[in-house]
Amino acid sequence: MTEHPTTLSFLRELIGFPTVSRDQNRDLINYCASHLRSIGASVDIITAEAGRKANLYATIGPQNMPGVMLSGHTDVVPVDGQAWSKPPFEAVVEDGRVYGRGTADMKGFVASALYCASKAAERQLKTPLHLALSHDEEIGCVGVHSLIDMLSDAPIKPAMCIVGEPTSMAIATGHKGKTAIEATCIGSAAHSALAPQAVNAIHLACDLISKIRHLQDDISVNGAQDTAYDIPYTSLHAGLVTGGVALNIVPDHALVTFEIRNLTTDNPDKILDRLRSAIAPVIEVARQCSPDADIAFNVINSYPALETPLDDVLVEMLAELTGSDQRIKVAFGTEGGLFSQKLGIPAVVCGPGSMAQGHKADEFVTLAQLDACDVMLAALTDRLATGIG
């Protein structure tokens, strides 16, 4: 690290840690903790998986009052099977862009937050700055729960939260919730020559997928609508189907993994109940052949939608800090919904780069976007120095 670190120098360091969700992030967390402690920040590390992974929570400024939290995840998606023309875990600067896995999603913001913390530590803040860095966001906002539990028990919680997912520095006041479900389809095995005498679990899976599609069609026409989203209604999507052993064996098990991405006004539990009701007659028919036939639903992960009112003080403050009146809602999920629902902390999503570059080969963030984020966070630091009521 340079003597006087910049956002770019921080980003170079962060990209050098290959923090794919399946791997450890502890080296990156230790690096961030070391820097933050060196500038006088109070730092808590919440470990997981026998110390392989961790969340970090830091405070700069007064410890006895709520402040503004900058939230970012430290894990990235894999590079396996992608045709990278540049080393994915080395920050390469070319033509006004910084290439590398996580540059957009979302180590660019984390780097800017570390730079902001460095500058804030040189000031006498009247309102504190908090940094929250999490693990395992990319697999469904899983890792942040232990940090939320810690904050839930804390005597003082942040007053507001900026989640720095890439929005091209636009102010995102909402995102959909997500519920991931595994449906285990149970049939009965037989020789394929006697297939009509058995219950084909793959056929049950197909029947279920058909019901998912019909329910989606109904929701898209008759369900709630929010035109701030590219897809203005709650969506259902089957993403994984597995089953079968050999062509000449009627399969007795199949698995369908699907998701519900819901508007705030829609309850995913009620949507799942509608699907259960729709598939129930199919199961009853199957049980006439095999009494054990069934489709068992198991929710494997979920996080809530985010819906921050346009007149919330945080939204108005971000408009002043960014100089933009643009309000959007994003298709992807973030940890903001969890902070809002579980802790009552208002949250917005605003960060450098675009998700159009995320999760792809040769992922990048522009230097101009990093500069814009630095300007916004510098303006935030000025506000913290004068105090946010």
Residue 296: how many other CB atoms lie within 10 Å: 9
Q: What is the pLDDT of residue 389?
A: 66
Mean pLDDT, rounded, for 124-139: 97
Look up the pTM and report it.
0.93
Is the separation of the CB atoms in 335 and 141 below 8 Å?
A: yes
Residue 1: is its pLDDT beyond 60? no
Tell me if residue 118 falls in helix, strand or coil: helix
Q: Provide the pLDDT confidence category of residue 140 given band limits of 50, 70 and 90.
A: very high
The CA distance from 15 to 24, in Å, is: 14
- Tokens read off for 66: 């709520």
- Tokens read off for 42: 């109070």
Q: What is the pLDDT of residue 4?
A: 77
Mean pLDDT, rounded, for 340-357: 97
Residue 339: is its pLDDT beyond 80? yes
On average, the pLDDT of the chain sits at 96
Q: Provide the pLDDT confidence category of residue 291 given band limits of 50, 70 and 90.
A: very high
Mean pLDDT, rounded, for 190-218: 97
Tell me if residue 281 falls in helix, strand or coil: helix
Residue 259: is its pLDDT beyond 60? yes
Q: Is the dihedral of CA 330, 320, 137, 356 positive or negative?
A: positive
Mean pLDDT, rounded, for 163-192: 97
Residue 388: is its pLDDT beyond 90? no
Q: What is the pLDDT of residue 78?
A: 97
Q: Give the residue among 141, 77, 175 at the shortest CA–CA distance from 302.
A: 141
The CA distance from 59 to 330, in Å, is: 28
Q: Provide the pLDDT confidence category of residue 3 given band limits of 50, 70 and 90.
A: low
Q: Is the dihedral of CA 333, 334, 339, 340 positive or negative?
A: negative
The CA distance from 318 to 148, in Å, is: 23
Residue 52: is its pLDDT beyond 60? yes
Q: Provide the pLDDT confidence category of residue 326 given band limits of 50, 70 and 90.
A: confident
Q: Give the residue among 118, 162, 131, 91 at the shortest CA–CA distance from 365.
A: 91
Is the separation of the CB atoms in 343 and 152 below 8 Å?
A: yes
What does the DSSP 8-state code read for residue 5?
Answer: -
> Which one-letter amino acid corresponds to residue 25?
N
Mean pLDDT, rounded, for 78-89: 97
> Which one-letter amino acid corresponds to residue 270?
K
What does the DSSP 8-state code read for residue 102?
Answer: T
> Which one-letter amino acid corresponds to residue 49?
E
Q: Give the residue among 214, 210, 215, 205 at the shortest CA–CA distance from 286.
A: 205
Q: What is the pLDDT of residue 2?
A: 44
